Each structure stands twice: as structure tokens, then as C-alpha cells.
Amino acid sequence: MARFSKRVGREVLDDHPRLPEWITKERVKLGDLHGMKKGLRDSHLHTVCEEARCPNRTHCFTHGTATFLLMGEVCTRACGFCSIQSGKPRLLDPHEPAETAERVAALNLRFAVLTSVNRDDLPDGGAAHFAETVLAIRRRNPGVGVEVLVPDFLGDLDAVARVVAAGPTVFNHNTETVPSLYPEVRPAGRFERSLRVLAHAKELGRALYGTSFRSKSGLMLGLGEAESELMHTFEALAQANVDILTLGQYLRPTRHQLPVKRYVHPDEFAALGAKAKAFGFQAVYAGPLVRSSFNAHEVSVMEGISIA
């Protein structure tokens, strides 16, 4: 049952529903990773790992993986699930691609994930900046894998092509939820637009790089989706030739974002992961704490279903 109240004097009453045991029992243990943490915080570069306090930080840091947030901290959209500030972003930092590549080297990363806020204010949505950062990492860190987790670029397929041409190992774009929930969850997004972005990236990537190129997408569960809607969404993503699918629990960042409608039990995640795999995905990662970049470093050896 939810507990409702507010701050009265020193008393704090929480209007968030109590988290289930399978989420609260997880603890982030970062005591043995001070070098990684200090390196991230000493640079002015932003990482989703630290700023979002991702529950998988220990797992990813241990495997030499970190996720960098490019193009600032202000987003041109206001999605219902996201706590990033919405407004008018600053100009792009032309030094960010090279500085990101240097930070990848300094942290001795084996796999870097690049994501960003939406930059609908830019003619290409920031595609050139993504491409420049991928190329800078490749030049400075030969052999390091790179995943890009991109916005939809307002459906600009030339922008998609520019990112793919830079040679990322994985092209990731999250559809986030089922189509019926887009007006609440992604009001500026379009499900069909996201499918076109994913399908186009896969087609170009396979033509340029063969089977080493992978596409990826992810969904948050617990926003009010029905299982039948999930099945239709899995099918649509499979038809767009997506290779990797992630399924995780939506957790409300603050009381200003959409509430959690339901906490999905780990057993149900396992069952949904198996059903998703039947649509033909090369790999499915399903579990309450799975996030978009979960096990990004496993792209070269992935197969089957992973439950976290």
C-alpha cells in the first residue's frame, strides 16, 4: 500500500510506494572501485552511471564499461519518465569528442556507451557530434567497443546514416514503452518513427560491417502496459531486425515523473524474456534492474536470455 504524506517540521512522509524486496535487496558496492569513480568525477564529462545512480554501476565498472552523456544536461523534450531538465540547451562543446576519448583511455575502459539528451534544436539532432565522438574513441583507443544509444533524430534517416558510418559496435535506440502509452511516456516521440530509425540503422550497418554490427532497443515495464501490447511490440521490433532487447522495471526518479503502476516480479521478467526470445532476437536481457546498457560489453559473445 502506498504511504501518503509530506514534510511537516522534521517529519518526512513519503508518497512513493514501498519498493518490493527484489529491488531493495540489491546494494551497489563501489568500495573497491574508487579509481573508476574518481576518474569519472574529476573530469567535467557526464556519465549516466553516476548521475542516475544506476543500480548496475558495480557490474559495468568491473567489466570496464561506462556510459557517457553527450551534448549537455538540458533536453529539448519533456518525457514523462525522465528527470533530466527540459529547456534550451547550451551550444555544443567542440572539445567533448576528444575529451571523451581521452577519458576512455584514462579509465582503461574496454567498452564505452555514448548517449545524449534530445537535441531537437540542432539541424541533425546531434548526429555529427555522436559520429565525431565514436571516431575519436576509435582513433585514441583501438579495439575498444562503442555502443551508441541515440535519440530518434526526429526521423532524419540521413542523421542515422551519419552515426552508423562512424562504425559503432552497437546502434541502440530505445522505444521505451508500448505505442498506446506514448502520449504520456514519450509525448514528442512516435513509435513508428523509432522503428524506422532502428530498421534503417540495421540495414546500413549490415551492408557496411556485416554480422559484426548489432542493433538494440529497450523497454521499461510497470507503466501500465498490457502483456498483449508487449507481444505486439516485441514482434514489431523483431520485424525491424533488432538484435538485442532489454526489459527492465520503470522506477520513478522523483514525484514529478509518472508513477509506477506495477512492480513486475522477477519470475514474470523471466517469462517475458523467454516469450521475447521466441520472436527471434539474438539476445534478451530481462530483469527488474536491467537498463539499456546492461552487459553492453557482452555483444561479441551474447546469445540467448539473461535474467538479472
Q: What is the pLDDT along the chain (308 residues), one digit of tens a residue?
A: 344 333 333 333 345 567 898 887 654 444 444 444 444 455 554 545 444 444 444 444 444 578 898 999 899 999 999 888 899 999 999 999 999 999 999 988 989 999 999 999 999 999 999 999 999 999 999 999 999 999 999 999 999 999 999 999 999 999 999 999 999 999 999 999 999 999 999 999 999 999 999 999 999 999 999 999 999 999 999 999 999 999 999 998 889 999 999 999 999 999 999 999 999 999 999 999 888 865 444 544 444 545 44
For the chain, the structural domain boundaries read 21-307
| Euclidean distance between CA atoms 120 and 269, whole angstroms | 34
Question: What's the whole-model pTM score?
Answer: 0.84
Per-position DSSP letters for 97-144, written without gaps between them: HHHHHHHHHHTT-SEEEEEE---TTSTTTTHHHHHHHHHHHHHHSTT-
CATH superfamily of 21-307: Aldolase class I (3.20.20.70)
Residue 190 CB neighbour total at 10 angstroms: 14
* Four-point Cα dihedral 306, 268, 51, 27, nearest 10: -80
Q: Is 55 exposed, middle or buried (0-12, 13-18, 19+ CB in 10 A)?
A: buried
